[in-house]
Amino acid sequence: MFHPRRTIRALLLPLVAGLALLALPAQSATAASTLTNGGFEADGTGTAVPSGWSESGSTAASYVEAGGHGGSYRLSHYASAAYKAETYQTLSGLTNGTYTLTAWVRSGGGQNSAYLALKNCGSSEQRTDLPVSTSSWIRIVTSINVTNNQCTISINSDANAGNWINVDDLTFASGTTGLSIKGSDISSLAKSEAYGGVYKTSSGTTGDALAILKSAGMNYARLKVWVDPADGYNNKTRVLAMAKRIKAQGMKLLVDFHYSDSWADPGKQTKPAAWAGHSYSQLKTDVYNHTYDVLSALKAQGTTADMVQVGNEINGGMLWSEGSTDNWSQLAGLINSGYSAAKAVSSGTQVALHLANAGDDATVRWWFDNAAAYGINYDVIGLSYYGYWHGTLAAAQTTLDDVASRYGKPVFVAETAYPFRLDSDDSLTNQIDTTAELVSGYPATAAGQLAWMNSVANIVEAVPNGRGLGVFYWEATWTAVTGNGWDPTDATSGNGWENQALFGFDDKALSSMAWFSHR
């Protein structure tokens, strides 16, 4: 079992115990415009105050030890009793402009807070929380606009007994980061409202769910479209109506074509009933006509789609069996038909291809290598990433970084979610309903839900060269409302996901909506 704990703690404690609760005086800023000792390699194991850095708070809890990310050493925060520690460095003589701090981090979790900050830079302090990752290093970034020629780089822990973090290989350079997409799928909303669903602000005032989400910072909505669903929802007519509301809120719109009458995902890609007997050649025409029909109607009413998914979680292809990955040339023809239709309506609409399982780099590579070999057209890569199913944050970061670089395309997390509680608000057992299913370090609370979303947002923000576009939550508005279950053919089907909505069982907006205000 991995335990990144202090190995020389017994030797060092007597030396620094007397300083444990004393804040060292802040050192005056020196004329240094580059980060000193960002890899913590200058001093060696046991150094209480790394060269170039200052400390405050429980200074005994901050030290250098062996086991670096890049070099031999790292900075760690750890103490056997509760502690607050800050390790910081002030740079002066900076040319004003935007800068990005990059760092490799690990954390055992459990702190009241553990974050990197850029402060005293002339603009509002910027923070990035450390994700919980007990063995693998994760790269995070924080950017800021420097307006006073200086900036303080700060590593902070407000920790309980036994909590720890590791930080290494910090760099501070010109550049900016942030997410352009802070979105959610709200495909459930129209039917929820029709069946009596209510949405409230955090203080309990009933309101428009979209307006509540917008006020939290949501800027992009995702709507699935089925061809001829049994319940009459999530079809062209309903998408058109919801698109008007989305655009009226000033949000952008992603239209997610399933090319099915019901759910399409890696386990099923069932052709719409109306296309069931069609040849491959006819299916290409079907895809074009359906895609063009929906998107041109959206454009005609002044709500042009900003992004389109040609297929939903198409790891195994779509429109089985003709469009399965057993026949890449046919799958390519079907996808390119959808791409062509989208571009014929609006050349500015971005076309995304969407796979499940961002934790599986090998499969994602296999898929997009084939896409390249067979001439599949697309603009953007979208990946589902559910931490309780799809592997670690570090694995997802590896995939996002790899595909963005390998294919030179922007990437986004098309779906992610996390529970704010484990019990059900209806009779159907929830998909995630036991503590054993949770991601370690992220409790099933609103705070845990927020921490998860910030962690996912942080790894997308850290994709190099600005290629991390953002994140869509799935599914913000799918609360437990009788009649609005998962099965469009069964009005009595329940919802196994209401504990992962962004509205609570009391219909109030959850504090976890704060993730929408991510940088």
Give Cα separations from 270 to 290, 294, 318 (angstroms). 16, 20, 8
Among the ranges given (29-33, 89-93, 150-154, 220-224), the one the predictor scored with the smallest mean pLDDT: 29-33
| Cα 170 versus chain centre, distance | 22
Mean pLDDT of 9-21: 35
Position 81 scores a pLDDT of 98
Residue 11: is its pLDDT beyond 90?
Answer: no
Among the ranges given (5-9, 212-216, 410-414), the one the predictor scored with the smallest mean pLDDT: 5-9
Q: What's the helix, strand, coil split of the chain in %, to 5?
A: 30, 25, 45
Give Cα separations from 30 to 40, 53, 91, 125, 170 (angstroms). 19, 11, 7, 21, 19
Q: Is residue 313 annotated as part of the catalytic site, yes or no?
A: yes
pLDDT tier at 26, thresholds 50, 70, 90 = very low
Q: Are 6 and 60 in contact (CB under 8 A)?
A: no
H-helix or E-strand containing 115? strand 113-119
Rounded Cα gap, residues 219 and 181, in angstroms: 7
Structure confidence by residue, pLDDT tens digits, 86-142: 999 999 999 999 999 999 999 999 999 999 999 999 999 999 999 999 999 999 999
Instruction: Say if residue 322 is preceded by a cis peptide, omega within 30 of 0.
Output: no
pLDDT tier at 22, thresholds 50, 70, 90 = very low
Q: Are 160 and 178 in contact (CB under 8 A)?
A: no
Residue 498: is its pLDDT beyond 70?
Answer: yes
| Partners of residue 76 on adjacent β-strands | 63, 166
| Partners of residue 105 on adjacent β-strands | 138, 167
Mean pLDDT score of the chain, rounded to an integer? 93
Position 341 scores a pLDDT of 98
Structure confidence by residue, pLDDT tens digits, 351-361: 999 999 999 99
Mean pLDDT of 22-49: 73
Cβ-based neighbour number of residue 185 at 10 Å: 22
DSSP tag of 356: S
Position 6 scores a pLDDT of 36
Q: Are 517 and 453 in contact (CB under 8 A)?
A: no
Q: Which two tokens stand for residue 225?
A: 């479209």
Task: Identify the three-state secondary structure at position 406.
Answer: helix
Q: Are 411 and 404 in contact (CB under 8 A)?
A: yes
Mean pLDDT of 314-332: 98
Structure confidence by residue, pLDDT tens digits, 232-264: 999 999 999 999 999 999 999 999 999 999 999
Q: What count of Cα atoms within 13 Å lies in the side-chain half-sphere of residue 3?
A: 5
pLDDT tier at 46, thresholds 50, 70, 90 = confident
Task: Return the closest-CA partner of residue 57 out of 84, 27, 75.
Answer: 84
Cβ-based neighbour number of residue 347 at 10 Å: 7
Task: Return the closest-CA partner of residue 338 out of 284, 379, 299.
Answer: 284
Phi, psi (degrees; rounded to nearest 5) at 74: -145, 165
Structure confidence by residue, pLDDT tens digits, 159-203: 999 999 999 999 999 999 999 999 999 999 999 999 999 999 999
H-helix or E-strand containing 382? strand 380-384
Structure confidence by residue, pLDDT tens digits, 279-313: 999 999 999 999 999 999 999 999 999 999 999 99
Rounded Cα gap, residues 460 and 384, in angstroms: 12
Structure confidence by residue, pLDDT tens digits, 397-451: 999 999 999 999 999 999 999 999 999 999 999 999 999 999 999 999 999 999 9
pLDDT tier at 33, thresholds 50, 70, 90 = confident
Alpha helical stretches, state H, 357-423:
361-373, 393-407
Instruction: Say if residue 321 is preceded by a cis peptide, omega within 30 of 0.
Output: yes
Position 47 scores a pLDDT of 84
Please give the full DSSP string across 414-425, using - where no structure is assigned: EEE---S-SS-S
State the Cα angle at 106 between 136 and 217, rounded to 5°. Answer: 105
Cβ-based neighbour number of residue 41 at 10 Å: 18
pLDDT tier at 29, thresholds 50, 70, 90 = very low
Cβ-based neighbour number of residue 415 at 10 Å: 23
Question: Which entry of 41, 86, 313, 322 is annotated as an active-site residue?
Answer: 313
Residue 20: is its pLDDT beyond 50?
Answer: no
Task: Identify the three-state secondary structure at position 497.
Answer: coil
In the sheet that holds 164-174, the strands lie side by side as 62-66, 73-78, 164-174, 97-107, 133-146
DSSP tag of 104: E
Query: Mutual orientation of helices 328-345 and 361-373 as an angle, nearest 10°?
Result: 80
pLDDT tier at 45, thresholds 50, 70, 90 = confident
Contacts of 242 (CB under 8 A, 6+ apart): 186, 189, 190, 221, 223
Q: What percent of the chain has pLDDT over 70?
A: 94
Question: Which entry of 415, 461, 475, 498 is annotated as an active-site residue?
Answer: 415
State the Cα angle at 121 between 119 and 126, rounded to 5°. Answer: 40
